[in-house]
Structures are given as C-alpha cells and as structure tokens.
Amino acid sequence: MELKESSFLQIQTKMKVIEYSADSFQEKEIFDWTQTINPEKKYWTQIHGLAEEQKLLSLCKNFGIHPLAIEDIFHTVQRPKIDDFGDSLFVVLQMFHVENEIKSQQISLFVKNNVLISFEEKDCTVLLPIEQKIKDNRNNIRKRGEDYLLYSLLDVIIDSYFEIEEYIYKEIGQLENTINNNPKKLHLSQLLKWRKDILRIRKSISPVNDILHTIMRNEVQFFEKENKVYLRDLTDHLLRVLDNLDTHKESVNSLIELYHAQANNKMNEVMKTLTIMSSIFIPLSFIAGVYGMNFDNMPELHSKLGYFYTLGGMGLVALVLLVYFKFKKYF
C-alpha cells in the first residue's frame, strides 16, 4: 500500500467560522471579514481547500499573516515546523487518513489574539471531535484561551497518528500470514512499499516532537504556563507512535528476510530435485553411451535379449539409487 503525496490544491475553497465564548456558540459557513472582531469572543476559522488563492491572500492580509507563513501555507510539502512572529504563532503539521490507502495532507495553524485559522488542503474528519466539544461545551475549551484550542487541535492530530499506525499494523499482519502460506513476488514489492511508506510517515511525524519541546522550553511566549503541562502528554503519545512505527519497520524488514529465506528454500528444493534426477540419469547415460559406441566386438549387441538385459540393468541401477536417496532422506 503506497503512501500518496497530498495533491488537493484544486479543491474548491470553503470557509467555516466557529464563534464561541464561555456561554455562547455560533457556526457560520461564510464569514464577513470586514466586521469587527469581538474581543470578548474567540474565533476558529476553518479553511478547506487552497484553490481560491486570491480570496485566501486577502484573508491572510486582513489578519496580518507574515509573508513567510503565507508561502508555507500554499507550499504544501513543508516539514512540520513552528514560527513565532511575536504577535502571532504559525504551526505546520502533516495529517494522515485512510481512503483504501494512506493519504497525507498539510494543515497550517495560525493564531493571533483571539483568532485561530486552520488551513487544510481538503476537508477531513480529524478535527471534528474538537468542533463537537466546542459545540457541546465540553473539556472547558470555551472557557480557555486560544492556546488551549491550539493544544486541543495538536492533541487530535497526534491521536490520529495512532489510527494510521494501527492500520499499518493490521495490513502488515495480514501480509505476514499470506507470506507464510504462499510467498509470491508481489508480496516482496508490497513489503518494499510498506517500508518506504513507514519511513516517510515517520519523517513527517518526528519533527512534531521538536515543536512540542520548543513550546515547553518557553521559547514560545504565546502559551500560558498552565497549558504547557498538557504538552507533556502529547510528547508521550508522539513517542509511542514513533516507537510503534520503528517496530513496524523492523517487522517489515523481518518479513523481507523471511520472504528471501522462503524463496531460497524453494530454490534449494528445486535444486535438490534436479540433483537427485541428475544422480540417477548420470549412470544411465553412461550405460547408454557405452552401448552406443560402434564396436563390432560387443557380444551383447548380438544377443536376442541384450536390449532387455540392458534396460533391466538400467532400471535396477535407477531403483537402487532411489532406495539409497530415500534411505538417506534426501526426499
């Protein structure tokens, strides 16, 4: 199963805004950016699809998103990173989901004052739990600041990595059973793809650990001290995912070795069969070669039963060799 690179730049842009406070919640499909932002409320703007570049550039300009951050939003093959621009914070992550195969997409998170904007290449279900918690007024997200909302988004994204890791585990387990029963060339190509995918996923996930440590080392002033405690739990979850991916990579390597070992065993069985057949036919060929020489003084050639004696002798030699090989348990 091959990991697909993200390619959603042509998906129509959709915007949805969640406006909330401790005692209110409102969801809008289209947000009028010319209206005044209420400092008493918080805003989570979800942008799905990056096709309408001019509209997005206008939005970025209105919110004072740094030009470097804007470039990273549209360049959707970024390594996970965090940029602190003083009055705003910008985070880039990779998300994964399964649609018959593993697909990836970039998500960019911009936070400034009481506004958080998430830029997704396409709409997916990873962030839906947080949206529902805000709507149901659970987990105190409404009562906390935008830094806690950012933590909550990081939490569900990292937790989604467990689903991908579990999917990989199940697929490799099924492939292992198939290889044990009947290894084929197709299985080797599948194993090589899985190893490549695991390495690529790990490469996309591991920098998130640096992001979390950057925040916890107080290099980012945006996070309240009381909320930084929650990041330790994210670090533990991320390390578990990375350890599991390393385990799956070793499992794939072991399966590749198993495939080669079974292929070699099959080849050895074929060679053993050919060797036994050759050992039987070599003396028979020798006998046939002797009587195939054109000498006059060969009494057996003038015997009426010479032909049958020769065939009987050759059969006896073959039988003796077969009994010998069977006794030695060569087959």
31 with 50, same domain: the answer is: yes
Task: Give the end of a domain, one of 219, 239, 262.
Answer: 262
Dihedral over alpha carbons 39, 44, 50, 51 (to 10 degrees):
-70
DSSP string, 238-293: HHHHHHHHHHHHHHHHHHHHHHHHHHHHHHHHHHHHHHHHHHHHHHHHHHHHHHTS
| pLDDT tens-digit series, residues 226-246 | 888 888 999 999 999 999 999
255 with 275, same domain: the answer is: no
31 with 153, same domain: the answer is: yes
Determine the 3-state secondary structure of 306 from DSSP: helix
Task: Give domain status of residue 283, yes or no.
Answer: yes
DSSP string, 193-204: HHHHHHHHHHHH
Return the amino acid letter for 295. F
Task: Give domain status of residue 212, yes or no.
Answer: yes
Strands 42-48 and 115-120, bridge-based pairing: parallel
Task: Give domain status of residue 7, yes or no.
Answer: no
Task: Give domain status of residue 47, yes or no.
Answer: yes
Task: Give domain status of residue 8, yes or no.
Answer: no
171 with 198, same domain: the answer is: yes
Helix, strand and coil in the chain, % to nearest 5: 55, 15, 25
The span from the CA of 218 to the CA of 200, in Å, is: 30
166 with 294, same domain: the answer is: no
248 with 295, same domain: the answer is: no
121 with 254, same domain: the answer is: yes
264 pLDDT more than 70: yes
Task: Give domain status of residue 2, yes or no.
Answer: no
pLDDT of residue 12: 77
| pLDDT tens-digit series, residues 120-162 | 988 888 999 999 999 998 888 898 888 899 999 999 999 999 9
Task: Give the end of a domain, one of 246, 262, 278.
Answer: 262
Q: Which H helix or E strand runs over 324?
A: helix 306-327
| pLDDT tens-digit series, residues 151-201 | 999 999 999 999 999 999 999 999 988 888 887 888 889 999 999 999 999
pLDDT of residue 5: 44
Write the burial class of residue 225 (CB in 10 Å: 0-12 exposed, 13-18 middle, 19+ buried). exposed
247 with 291, same domain: the answer is: no
126 with 227, same domain: the answer is: yes
31 band by pLDDT with thresholds 50, 70 and 90: low
304 with 214, same domain: the answer is: no
pLDDT of residue 281: 85
Task: Give domain status of residue 207, yes or no.
Answer: yes
The span from the CA of 18 to the CA of 9, in Å, is: 24
Sheet containing 102-112: order of strands: 24-28, 14-21, 42-48, 115-120, 102-112, 88-98, 81-84
246 with 195, same domain: the answer is: yes
Task: Give domain status of residue 281, yes or no.
Answer: yes
Lowest mean pLDDT among 61-70, 280-289, 290-299: 290-299
* Tokens 């074929």 found at: 270
* Domain that includes residue 176, residue range: 14-262
190 with 87, same domain: the answer is: yes
Whole-model pTM: value is 0.78
Q: Which CATH number do you get for residue 295?
A: 1.20.58.340
Write the burial class of residue 45 (CB in 10 Å: 0-12 exposed, 13-18 middle, 19+ buried). buried
Task: Give the end of a domain, one of 233, 262, 291.
Answer: 262
Task: Quote the number of domains for the chain.
Answer: 2
Average predicted confidence (pLDDT) for the chain: 85
What would the two tokens of residue 245 be?
């991916």
Contacts of residue 222, defined as CB under 8 A and 6 or more positions apart, other chains included, come to: 84, 89, 111, 147
Q: Which CATH number do you get for residue 27?
A: 3.30.460.20
The residue-averaged pLDDT of 52-65 equals: 86
312 band by pLDDT with thresholds 50, 70 and 90: confident
